[in-house]
Amino acid sequence: MIERAGGPHQGVRVGRYNILHFTELDSTNLYALRNLDSLPDKQVIVAEIQTGGRGRFKRKWVSHIPDNLYMSLVLKPEDPEAWVRAPLPSLTQYMAVVICEVMLLYGADTSLKWPNDVMVKTSKIAGLLGESVVQGRRLKGYVLGAGVNLNMTALDLEGIDKPAVSLNQISGAAVDPEEFLSALLDEFFNGYDEFIEMGFCSIRDRYIEKCAFMGEKITVSTYDGQVIGDAAGFSDDGALLIINDNGEMVNITAGDVN
């Protein structure tokens, strides 16, 4: 249970974790970025609703509906060299795998759409956004944001411009956001040190197992245009590997799979 103790800066507790809990924020990621200097490593920020939720490529994330999970996690490197070995973009892929595994506790069989969308068949149930803060050549911190559809009605979902689904629709019951968050943080931190040491390699097999399109012909929209080919795997830093029609291996670090 959440134990409220006055204002958000006094914090609340979910399980064994200290949480900054807000009734409303523009964005948990934006709050974390604005206050990065004063926030400790592994600080969790949660908002009941967001007025300016956003995803990758500055896309809007519908997050004005309460009883879902809108959160950000502040991560600060004790050893910056270790973080060089664990490429930052693959932190969102690590969290995506964790969300899939927690979803199984609720009977939801999910898959991954590279790089970090969590899907139920063709409908999205969770998304992630990672943002790093660099000062000079020094990494100050990393903010890992997650939005998870836990308790949404069919009418709520109609307001989203792409197919979406909510965990309560799959489980057949309301989902306690605090219990889901506690399970998510437990699973995340159980493997966090190994991930920082080994990077994407520590989760590659689990990621491939959940990936929805391995071996299939796919189209990826990138900054430089479309790439078409067969999904062949992932590099050590989580980039998508595609064999194009010329038989060439193409390494894609950012894009949308269609």
Strand order in the sheet with 123-135: 12-14, 17-25, 44-50, 69-75, 138-148, 123-135, 117-120, 111-113
Low-confidence winner among 57-71, 154-168, 171-185, 232-246 (lowest mean pLDDT): 57-71
**54 belongs to a structural domain:** yes
CATH number of the domain to which 229 belongs: 2.30.30.100
Q: How many CB atoms lie within 10 A of CB 52?
A: 13
Q: How far is CA 173 from CA 2, 147, 163, in A?
A: 20, 19, 21
| Domain range enclosing 249 | 217-257
Q: 239 and 160 share a domain?
A: no
Report the chain's mean pLDDT, rounded to a whole number: 87
**102 belongs to a structural domain:** yes
- The SS3 of residue 147 is strand
CATH number of the domain to which 35 belongs: 3.30.930.10
Q: 173 and 133 share a domain?
A: yes
Distance (Å, whole) CA 54 – CA 195: 26
The whole model's pTM is what?
A: 0.89
Q: 91 and 106 share a domain?
A: yes
> What pLDDT score was predicted for residue 134?
82
Distance (Å, whole) CA 182 – CA 62: 23
Q: 223 and 156 share a domain?
A: no
**146 belongs to a structural domain:** yes
Q: 174 and 118 share a domain?
A: yes
Distance (Å, whole) CA 77 – CA 143: 12
Q: 177 and 224 share a domain?
A: no
Q: 146 and 73 share a domain?
A: yes
Q: 199 and 244 share a domain?
A: no
**2 belongs to a structural domain:** no
Q: 98 and 177 share a domain?
A: yes
**1 belongs to a structural domain:** no
**3 belongs to a structural domain:** no
Give whichever of 48-57, 96-105, 137-146, 154-163 has the largest mean pLDDT: 96-105
CB half-sphere exposure, 94, CA atoms < 13 A: 28
DSSP structure string for 153-172: -HHHHHTSSS-B--HHHHHS
**114 belongs to a structural domain:** yes
Does 159 score more than 60 pLDDT?
yes
Contact present, 50 and 25 (Cβ < 8 Å) = yes
Q: 201 and 228 share a domain?
A: no
Domain count across the chain: 2
Low-confidence winner among 46-55, 123-132, 160-169, 234-243 (lowest mean pLDDT): 46-55
Q: 124 and 229 share a domain?
A: no
**167 belongs to a structural domain:** yes
Q: 41 and 123 share a domain?
A: yes
Backbone angles phi, psi at 236, to 5 degrees: -65, -20
Distance (Å, whole) CA 246 – CA 162: 33
Q: What are the tokens at 214?
A: 């391995």
| Percent of the chain whose pLDDT exceeds 70 | 86
Contact present, 217 and 229 (Cβ < 8 Å) = yes
